[in-house]
């Protein structure tokens, strides 16, 4: 029987249950969930039992488990940097860390140093980077990257009980009241929501140019809009959380002669890839939907890597650059909002 890559899951929450375990179950010929660890031992044990894996008693225990070759870090963000670094130093073969990578630039840099020193490949769970339609769009991306003049990222989500439970397939998934309209919310909105597409957006921004956040605002029931300038390109970031039923997740980029529009499925759902449409010279080309989604793309890349082939994953400098971009937008937007609220 072919070797199955042993996976260790850190954190037994929603993302592990609704995103990674279903993908790994579909890829059971190539992967086996070896062990699960959560600070809550009951959560680890229950989930481990459901998927026939071992339940580790501590993070150390998981790191020392020889069957765990790859770590999927699905804990809250404040633990990511430490767990990624320890996983690399423990000699794991690859690390998949959920977004956001870290909480500070210093943490991200430390991860980068250790990744370079140990040579352990790192993937960040910004799943759209691994979406097959996005990957198929690469030629257009290269064409556009040289002359993008406007980028629009708009995320409409219905974070209500109906959508959350159906999307995650978890009963009783807490939804609670929406985020408040206090300035601080913009920071977490960027680092939790906008961040999904920032690596894609960064591919179109002029290299080596600073970004400048020109405006930021929040609106009811919860939404944000942020205007950013970078070189000769405007970036229009917005989101709207509402009680309706339809999610809509779009990214659109234009140059003087080419435009692309990508419509992604929302987080958690395993509904195939995005659909990417590009226009140039009066011709529209549609790519997708493909059967696999970005979550599967992440695990496909890990599988390819561990077979010793080129998986074309973003280099760690790009991963750190993506995180820096997100943090920069979040901090600048927060400064603007705080100033406005004080006036």
Partner 1 sequence: MDKVDVWLIDGSGAWANAAMGCAGRGSGKIVVVVDPGMDDPDSIRQLTAVIEKGSSRIAMIETFPGNPALPGFLRNLADSVSYMHFQAWTTGNQGNAVLSQLRLARALGLEDISLRDICALPDSCLLSFQALRSGCRLSLRFLVTASSALPARHVIRGYAADALAILTVYDRNTARPAEALLTDASGQHLLPAIYETAHRFMLRNLGNQTASLTELTAFADDVELTRSLGLN
Ligand X SMILES: NC(=O)c1ccc[n+]([C@@H]2O[C@H](COP(=O)([O-])OP(=O)(O)OC[C@H]3O[C@@H](n4cnc5c(N)ncnc54)[C@H](O)[C@@H]3O)[C@@H](O)[C@H]2O)c1
Q: What is the contact surface with partner 1 in residues (CB under 8 A)?
A: 149-150, 152, 154, 156, 214-215, 217, 219-221, 223, 225, 227-229, 232-234, 236, 238, 240, 242-246, 248, 254-259, 279-280
Q: Which is nearer to partner 1, 149 or 170 (CB)?
A: 149
The residues with which 217 forms a beta bridge, in sequence order, are: 225
Q: Which of 21, 33, 48, 74 binds ligand X (CB under 6 A)?
A: 74
The least distance separating ligand X from the CB of residue 190, rounded to whole angstroms, comes to 12
Judged by CB under 6 A, does residue 274 bind ligand X? no
> Could you tell me the smallest distance in angstroms from the CB atom of residue 19 to ligand X?
6
Beta bridge partners of 283: 280
Residue window 41-70: x/- pattern of binding to ligand X, with contact defined by CB under 6 A: --x---------------------------
Identify whether the C-beta of residue 225 lies closer than 8 Å to the C-beta of residue 329: no
Annotate each residue in 8-27 with x if it binds ligand X (CB under 6 A) or - if it does not, as one string: --xxxxxx------------
Nearer to partner 1, 51 or 229 (CB): 229
Contact assessment for residue 211 and residue 229, using Cβ atoms and an 8 Å cutoff: yes
Name the minimum Å distance from CB 328 to ligand X: 19
- Spatial neighbors of 51 by CB under 8 A, at least 6 apart, are 21, 25, 33, 36
DSSP calls for 44-109:
HHHHHHHTT-EE-SSHHHHHH-TT--EEEE-S-GGGHHHHHHHHHHTT-SEEEEPSS--SSHHHHH
State the binding partner of 246 from partner 1, ligand X, none, CB within 5 to 8 A by kind.
partner 1
Does position 332 bind ligand X by CB under 6 A? no
Which is it for the CA torsion 334, 336, 339, 343, positive or negative?
negative
Please list every residue from 192 through 221 that binds ligand X, using CB under 6 A.
Answer: 192
Residue 10 interacts, among partner 1, ligand X, none and using kind-specific CB cut-offs from 5 to 8 Å, with ligand X
Find out whether the peptide bond into 221 is cis, omega within 30 degrees of 0: yes
Provide CB contacts within 8 A for 316, sequence distance 6+.
Answer: 111, 112, 115, 116, 122
CB of 34 to ligand X, least distance (A): 16
Classify residue 165 as exposed, middle or buried by CB count within 10 Å of its CB (0-12, 13-18, 19+): middle
> In terms of CB distance, is 229 or 275 closer to partner 1?
229
CA distances from 90 to 65, 114, 306 (A): 10, 11, 17
Q: Which is closer to ligand X, CB of 44 or CB of 278? A: 44
Phi, psi of 296 (to 5 degrees): -65, -35
Which residue number, 119 or 281, has a Cβ lying nearer to partner 1? Answer: 281
Interacting residues with ligand X (CB under 6 A)? 10-15, 38-40, 43, 74-77, 79, 98-99, 125, 127, 192, 267
């Amino acid at each position: 029987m072919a070797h199955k890559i042993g996976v260790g899951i850190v954190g037994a929450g929603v993302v592990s249950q609704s995103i990674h375990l279903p993908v790994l179950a579909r890829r059971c010929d190539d992967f086996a969930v070896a062990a699960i660890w959560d600070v809550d031992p009951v959560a680890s044990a229950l989930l481990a039992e459901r998927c026939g894996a071992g339940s580790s008693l501590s993070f150390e225990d998981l790191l020392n488990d020889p069957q765990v070759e790859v770590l999927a870090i699905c804990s809250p963000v404040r633990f990511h940097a430490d767990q990624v670094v320890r996983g690399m130093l423990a000699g794991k073969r690859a690390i998949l860390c959920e977004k956001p990578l870290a909480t500070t630039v210093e943490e991200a840099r430390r991860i980068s140093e250790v990744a370079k020193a140990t040579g352990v490949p790192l993937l960040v769970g910004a799943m759209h980077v691994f979406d097959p339609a996005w990957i198929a769009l690469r030629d257009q991306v290269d064409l556009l990257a040289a002359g993008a003049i406007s980028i629009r990222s708009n995320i409409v989500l219905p974070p209500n009980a109906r959508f959350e439970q159906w999307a995650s397939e978890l009963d009783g998934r807490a939804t609670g009241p929406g985020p408040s309209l206090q300035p601080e919310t913009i920071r977490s909105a960027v680092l939790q929501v906008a961040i999904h597409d920032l690596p894609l957006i960064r591919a179109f921004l002029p290299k080596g140019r600073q970004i400048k956040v020109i405006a930021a605002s929040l609106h009811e029931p919860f939404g944000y809009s942020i205007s950013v300038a970078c070189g000769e390109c405007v970036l229009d970031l917005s989101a709207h959380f509402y009680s309706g039923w339809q999610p809509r997740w779009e990214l659109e980029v234009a140059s003087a002669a080419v435009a692309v529009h990508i419509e992604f499925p929302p987080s958690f759902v395993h509904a195939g890839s995005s659909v990417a449409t590009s226009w140039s010279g009066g011709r529209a080309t549609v790519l997708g939907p493909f059967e696999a989604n970005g979550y599967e793309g992440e695990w496909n890349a890990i599988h390819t890597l561990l077979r010793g082939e080129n998986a074309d994953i973003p280099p760690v400098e790009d991963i750190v650059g993506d995180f820096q971009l997100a943090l920069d937008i979040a901090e600048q937007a927060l400064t603007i909002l705080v100033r406005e609220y004080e006036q």
